[in-house]
Amino acid sequence: MTTLKKHKTNRTLPAQGVEWLHNPVFNKGTAFTEAERDSLGLRGLLPPYVQTIDQQARRVMETFRSKSSDLERYIQIVGLQDRNETLFYRVVMDNLEELMPIIYTPTVGKACQEFGHIFRRSRGFYISSNDRGKMEKILHNWPTRQVKVIVVTDGERILGLGDLGASGMGIPIGKLSLYTACAGIHPMQCLPITIDVGTDNETLLADPLYTGLRQKRTRGEEYDSIIEEFMLAVEKNFPGVLVQFEDFGNSNAFRLLERYRDRACTFNDDIQGTGSVALAGVLSALHLTGGKLADQRVLFLGAGEAGIGIAENIVNVLVEEGLPLAEARKRIWFVDSKGLIVKDRGNLTEHKLHYAHDHAPCADLLSAVKLLKPTMLVGASGQAKTFTQEIVKLMAEINERPVIFALSNPTSKAECTAEEAYTWTNGRAVFASGSPFAPVTVNGRKLVPGQGNNAYIFPGIGLGIVSTGARRVTESMFIVAARTLASLIRENELAEGRVYPSLQRIHEVSHSIAIAVAKEVFEKKLNTLSRPEDLSGYIRSQMFKPEYPDYTKK
C-alpha cells in the first residue's frame, strides 16, 4: 500500500528566456518578478512594470466583458488557458458563475459546432482509427506521466447537438477545466482525449475546415477493437488513471460502461454523473414539496443515457430505503419518441425493458401526464419546448408544488425555460435545468432556478478517487455524492426556490463530496493509498490553488 503524499508536478523547467513565456504551465507573463526576469533571461522580453496576479485578472475580465458574443468570450478565455494556466484558473475560480456557462454548457456546444473555424492551438490528445496498433506508443508523446484523470469522447453525441466527430474535443477540455476549477485537481493531472473514428455528419464532412477524419463513422467489431486498444494503452501509460467516458452515443455508452466498469477505474458522466446530480435535486425538492421518495411518481421524457441514469439512481436509493427492486422501478415511467414505454411495445432495448410496465399504450407526453398523474416531470430528451404550457399547467393542477426538471443541454434544447415553468404555475413549480437560467420574479417573489450541472458531482467524485487511488468506481459513490450534495442545501437557498447550493460554494461542495467518496472507497477496500488520520485536511491539501511560485527558489 502506497503512502499518501501531496501531489507535486514532475515536469522539466523551460530553458532560459522566451520559452518561459511560451509554456502555459510556467508562464507568469507580466507577473514575473525583477529577480526572475534576471535569473530566467526575461529582461527586455516583458514590459518593465511587474504586475500582481490580481491586476492581470482584472485586465482579463475587462477584456472578457467587452466582447460582443459568448463565442468571442469563449475564444478569449481558452486562449488564456493556452498561454497562462495559473492565471486562467485564478480568473475562472474567482468568477465561476459568470465563466462556467462560457467554458462549458451552453457556449461550449456552439464552440464545438464551430471548432474547425475557431481553432487556434491544439490542446488535448487525438487518437484516430488510423492509429490502431500504435496507441500505446503514441501516448508516450504526452509530456507528463502524472495523469490521474482522463475525459474521453468519440464525439458522437455532443450535448444535445448530435455527431460532431473530432470537433467534440471542446467537451473533454471543458470538463477537465471544471475538475480543476471546481475541485482543485491539478491541471497537469488532467488529459482530454478525443477518439476520432469518423463522423456521419455530412455538413462536417463537406467542411474544408473540419479537423477530423474525412470518413463515415467506424462501427461494430472494428470500433470495439479501437476502444479496447485505447483502454489497454491508457492503463499501460497511466496505471490506475480514472477514465471518464463523455458524450458517446446511446448505442455504445451503456455497452462500454458495462464492459469496462469492473476492469478499469471508469464511469460514464452522461449516465452516472447526470443521474447523481439529478437525484440530489430530487432529494432537495422533497424539502419543498414534502413527502417521501417512495411516494413519488416520476415521469421522464427521454429514455437515453441521462434519463436511464437518473432513474437507476432513484431506484438504488429506494432499494436502500427498503423497497424491493421491482416495486422501486414501478415508481418510474418513461415516454420516448414512440410514446409511453409499456410491456406490450416491441423492440425495446435492454435498458428500457426495466421500466416497461403493464399499462395501456399512450401516444404522447400530455396523455401520459393525464393518465399517470406524476409528482415529478423530468426532461432528458434533447427536444426543446416539449414541456408545453398545457402540460406544465396540468402538473400544477395535479400537484401543489409540481417538480419540473428540464435538464436537456444546451439551453436551446431545454424542454422549457425557468420563466415558463414559474409563470405557468404561478410560482409554485420546483424547477431545475441543465443549462443556466436567470432568476425570475413572480408575484413580487424572486425565484432562483437550480442548474442540475454535473459539475456539482464529477469533480468531487474525481478528487475522492484520485486522493485514495481507488481501483474502481462504484454506483454507491454516486449515491453518497448525491446525498452529500442534497445535504448541503441551506434554508435560505431553499427559500429562493433553489434545489442546489450556489455555485459560489462549489469548492466546499466538491471537498465534502470527495470526503464522502473517499470514505466509501476505504470502506469497500478499493483504495491503493493508505488512509490518513486527517482525511479532510489531506484532501484539502490536494486541491490546486492558482498561485504563482517563486522560480528563483530551488
Interval 306-359: pLDDT, tens: 999 999 999 999 999 999 999 999 999 999 999 999 998 888 888 899 999 999
The Cα 187–Cα 546 span in angstroms is: 10
What does 147-179 look like in DSSP terms, one character per residue?
A: --EEEEE-SSS-TTS---GGGGGHHHHHHHHHH
C-alpha cell at 550: 517563486
- The total of other beta-carbon atoms located within 10 Å of residue 455's CB is 26
Crossing angle between the packed helical segments 506-523 and 458-468, to the nearest 10 degrees: 50
Whether the upstream peptide bond of residue 410 has omega within 30° of 0, thus cis, is yes
Q: Are 466 and 148 in contact (CB under 8 A)?
A: yes
Cα–Cα nearest to 462, from 113, 216, 94, 177: 177
Which of 28, 110, 175, 413 is the catalytic position? 175
Q: Which CATH superfamily includes the segment(s) 52-264?
A: Malic enzyme, N-terminal domain (3.40.50.10380)
Tell me what pLDDT residue 393 has.
98
538 is catalytic: no
Query: Higher-confidence residue: 169 or 6?
Result: 169
| pLDDT at residue 450 is higher than 50 | yes
CA distances from 337 to 37, 197, 248, 255, 265 (A): 63, 28, 20, 21, 34
H/E stretch holding 71 reads helix 70-83
Give first-to-last CA distance, the chain, whole Å.
Answer: 31
- Over residues 385-390, mean pLDDT: 98
Question: Which residue type does 71 have?
Answer: L
Tell me what pLDDT residue 554 has.
59
Using left for φ > 0, alpha for ψ between -120 and 50, and beta otherwise, residue 343 falls in alpha
The Cα 243–Cα 237 span in angstroms is: 13
Q: Are 459 and 434 in contact (CB under 8 A)?
A: no
C-alpha cell at 511: 471537498
Tell me what pLDDT residue 349 has.
83
pLDDT tens, 40-94?
A: 999 999 999 999 999 999 999 999 999 999 999 999 999 999 999 999 999 999 9
Tell me what pLDDT residue 351 has.
85
Which of 74, 89, 104, 210 is the catalytic position? 104
Q: In terms of C-beta density within 10 A (0-12 exposed, 13-18 middle, 19 or more buried), how is residue 203 classed?
A: exposed
Crossing angle between the packed helical segments 475-487 and 506-523, to the nearest 10 degrees: 140
Tell me what pLDDT residue 112 has.
97
CA distances from 501 to 404, 462, 510 (A): 18, 19, 11
| pLDDT at residue 4 is higher than 70 | no
Listed in order, the ranges of the chain carrying CATH 3.40.50.720 are 272-452
The CA-CA-CA angle for residues 179, 183, 185, to 5°, reads: 60
Listed in order, the ranges of the chain carrying CATH 3.40.50.10380 are 52-264
- Over residues 511-527, mean pLDDT: 98
The percent of residues in the chain predicted with pLDDT above 90, rounded, is: 93
CA distances from 364 to 154, 297, 341 (A): 32, 17, 10
Tell me what pLDDT residue 374 has.
98
Q: Are 74 and 107 in contact (CB under 8 A)?
A: yes
| Architecture category of domain 272-452 in CATH | 3-Layer(aba) Sandwich (3.40)
Whether the upstream peptide bond of residue 532 has omega within 30° of 0, thus cis, is no
Question: Which residue type does 31 have?
Answer: A
Tell me what pLDDT residue 1 has.
54
Q: What is the mean pLDDT of the chain?
A: 95
Tell me what pLDDT residue 6 has.
43
| pLDDT at residue 3 is higher than 80 | no
Q: In terms of C-beta density within 10 A (0-12 exposed, 13-18 middle, 19 or more buried), how is residue 337 classed?
A: exposed
The Cα 120–Cα 125 span in angstroms is: 15
pLDDT bracket for residue 11 (50, 70, 90): low
Q: What is the CA radius of gyration of the chain?
A: 24
CA distances from 155 to 101, 112, 158, 414 (A): 20, 10, 6, 21
The least confident of 251-265, 340-354, 369-383, 491-505 is: 340-354
Q: Are 302 and 380 in contact (CB under 8 A)?
A: yes
175 is catalytic: yes
- Over residues 265-272, mean pLDDT: 96
- The total of other beta-carbon atoms located within 10 Å of residue 373's CB is 14
What SS3 state is found at 405? strand
